Amino acid sequence: MSVQPWNSRTAGAVVHDQSYYAKCMLGGVLACGLTHAAITPLDVTKCNMQVNPQKYKGLVSGLRTILAEEGAFAIWKGWFPTLLGYSAQGMFKYGLYEVFKDTYSNMAGEKASKQYKEVIWCAASASAEVFADIALCPLEMVKVKVQTSVPGTFPTAFFPALKEISRNSAETKFPFGSLVPLWSRQIPYTVAKFFFFEKIVSLFYTHVFTAPKESYAKSTQLGITFASGYSAGVICAIVSHPADSLVSLLSKPVNKGKSVGVIAKEFGYANLATKGLGTRVIMIGTLTGLQWWIYDTFKAVMGLGTSGGK
């Protein structure tokens, strides 16, 4: 009788078949689309702080300025492309992470995949994010243009904005003009997000909740998920903030036709790393914690179990 070779897809309590990956993709849609859309007011303020720090100097004062000058609806500008774009991104980010993690684990073999699991987490999350950002980029360009344009100079409704940015594609570089800056922001962010989440979850189950993971109530497991996700999100915000600032600056009319390097030099490297960072730490910490919580809640309801372990 021949011994079946080790397979990461069948090594755990739940078989990672096509149905498993599809459910993970749907969980990613819910986790990313809903959370990003919900914090649109923070995102609008943060983007304006990045492109015009002299006017929008802080989160609270920035919100007040936008409300005073543009009205209550202005803080929700770009919510629809945000919902669409980040739903698509979440589908590939979470779903393909599971696919690549199993693929790279099988390539490495049972022993090496356990010994170098951190490397596999990083490689799988980076690979997934490459495709996730291709799906996100066109909608992210629309979102940023809507959120940062001077009132009255660009449509705020989704379809008119999409038509306008497409019509001027030679200038706006739509639909993939921001892809490289987006990759430079999102790939480090996602690698940090998945690496530190997996690592912090592992530390919880190794040093704090030391009984077998399955012995804890789902509410406890989901609490660990949120705490780990929030902690990972703070690190993510710091790592990816300079590139996030560049993505916002690219949409400014004054930067039309300039290279990323020129924009960075003119704005100042210290400003890229710090302007709007406090707001983004709050935003991304909460966002990442909620994303992992929604994702794992969905997985638990689907009978897939929560993410991570010892």
DSSP string for residues in 228-277: HHHHHHHHHHHHHHHHHHHHHHTTSGGGTT--HHHHHHHH-HHHHHHTTH
Looking at residue 257, its pLDDT comes to: 76
Q: Which of 43-47, 56-60, 199-203 has the highest mean pLDDT?
A: 199-203
Count CB neighbours of 234 within 10 A. 19
Residue 1 has pLDDT above 60, yes or no: no
Residue 251 has pLDDT above 80, yes or no: no
Instruction: State the pLDDT confidence band at 35, using cuts at 50, 70 and 90.
Output: very high
pLDDT by residue (tens digit) across 79-114? 999 999 999 999 999 999 999 999 999 999 999 999
CB 294 within 8 A of CB 213: no
3-state helix, strand, coil in the chain (%, to 5): 80, 0, 20
Residue 279 has pLDDT above 90, yes or no: no
Residue 3 has pLDDT above 70, yes or no: no
Percent of the chain with pLDDT strictly greater than 90: 66
DSSP state of 212: -
Count CB neighbours of 4 within 10 A. 7
Q: What is the pTM of this model?
A: 0.84
Q: Which of 21-30, 35-44, 177-186 has the highest mean pLDDT?
A: 21-30
Residue 272 has pLDDT above 90, yes or no: no
CB 142 within 8 A of CB 245: no
Determine which helix (DSSP H) or strand (DSSP E) holds 13, and give its type and residue range. Answer: none
pLDDT by residue (tens digit) across 194-237? 999 999 999 999 999 999 998 999 999 999 999 999 999 998 88
Residue 39 has pLDDT above 70, yes or no: yes
Looking at residue 2, its pLDDT comes to: 58
